[in-house]
Amino acid sequence: MKQRSAVRGMFAVLAATGTLLVAETAARADDREQCASAADQAQQLRDEGKYRRAREQLLLCARDVCPAPIKRDCLDWLTQVENTAPTVVFGAKDGARDLSDVKVYVDGAPVTDRLDGKPVQMDLGKHVVKFEYQGQTKEEEVIIGAGQKNRNVTVTFGAAAGGAGGPTGPAGGGGGGGTEPAKEGSIAPALVVGGIGILALGSFAIFGLGGKSDVSDLEKTCKPHCAETDVDKARTKLIIADISLGVGIVALGVATYLFVTRPKVDADVKTGHASAKPPAKPATGVSNVSFDFGAVTGGAMGSFGARF
């Protein structure tokens, strides 16, 4: 009887040991399968620029329970992801004061409950970042590019964020949907070109009178045997006078055009009772004006230019 009991005990121990070995073997098989699957998913997610999820999978396949080759590869890939993944630093202010008790969500998923200035890994592409602070929310749309490191994404709560906690917008847009009030076109371009025209007419008068005076003197003193240099000098003055006259007329015409076609604002718009009437033509301006003249063989040449 004692021998039979001992044999039965040995069989029970062997059975329990076998059960444990089978369970341990099955667990190891499950771990190997999970590690291999995590490694495959991590590579795919990394190639798609989804670095945050890739990092989660790499942490799974880099565990001690994973086979050595898989663990070694996952540790290498994890280092690569840490070095190449773009990162952002979230921040929030209340006026000029930095805030820390702010919750941050990226594309609806919670990222952090407090701001600590540490960089956070981000996936490539467009994201919506939401900040929550004492019942207020702010959203920022960002596009994350490859290689970006420690990019600052900051929002401002309170009055500095656009007045009474409202969205940031152009100044003076209250009640008008953020639209800036219409402004009357500047007359500065017309004044500049008109001034050039007046100077050109002054040049016409000076050189015209000087040239005629020189011609009159030559006719009285040396005609028809006057020196060629004296004749050329008188001729150049007259040519410059003619060019100045042409430039002056053109410049005054352009100045008149700029003044007449500049954007207008109706009288009721100036008092705030109606929206601005759009100009019949696009706003006109002058970005560059040039005037030049000089002597050439047998006379003189002048040029006038304006870029609109």
Under 8 Å between Cβ of 67 and 32: yes
Indicate the helix (H) or strand (E) that contains 290. Answer: strand 288-296
Is residue 174 domain-resident? no
pLDDT at 130 over 50: yes
Is residue 183 domain-resident? no
Least confident of 90-104, 164-178, 291-305: 164-178
**Assigned token pair, 99:** 């805030």
- Identify the CA nearest to 204 among candidates 291, 115, 114, 101: 291
User: How far apart (Å, rounded) are the C-alpha atoms in residues 178 and 171?
Assistant: 8
φ, ψ of residue 269 to 5 degrees: the values are -70, -40
Give residue 62's domain range. 2-84
Task: Please compute the mean of the pLDDT values over residues 107-113 and round it to a whole number.
Answer: 92
User: How far apart (Å, rounded) are the C-alpha atoms in residues 10 and 2?
Assistant: 12
- Identify the CA nearest to 135 among candidates 88, 177, 94: 94
pLDDT the model gives residue 276: 44
Question: Structure pTM?
Answer: 0.41
Is residue 113 domain-resident? yes
pLDDT of 151-186, one tens digit each? 999 999 976 444 444 444 444 444 444 445 556 678
Domain-ending residue, one of 161, 196, 211 = 161
Q: Are residues 214 and 291 in the same domain?
A: yes
Alpha-helical runs (H) found in the chain: 2-47, 51-61, 68-84, 188-221, 228-261, 267-270
Per the document, the length of the chain is: 308
Give the dihedral of Cα atoms 281, 284, 290, 296; nearest 10 deg: 0
Q: Are residues 290 and 252 in the same domain?
A: yes
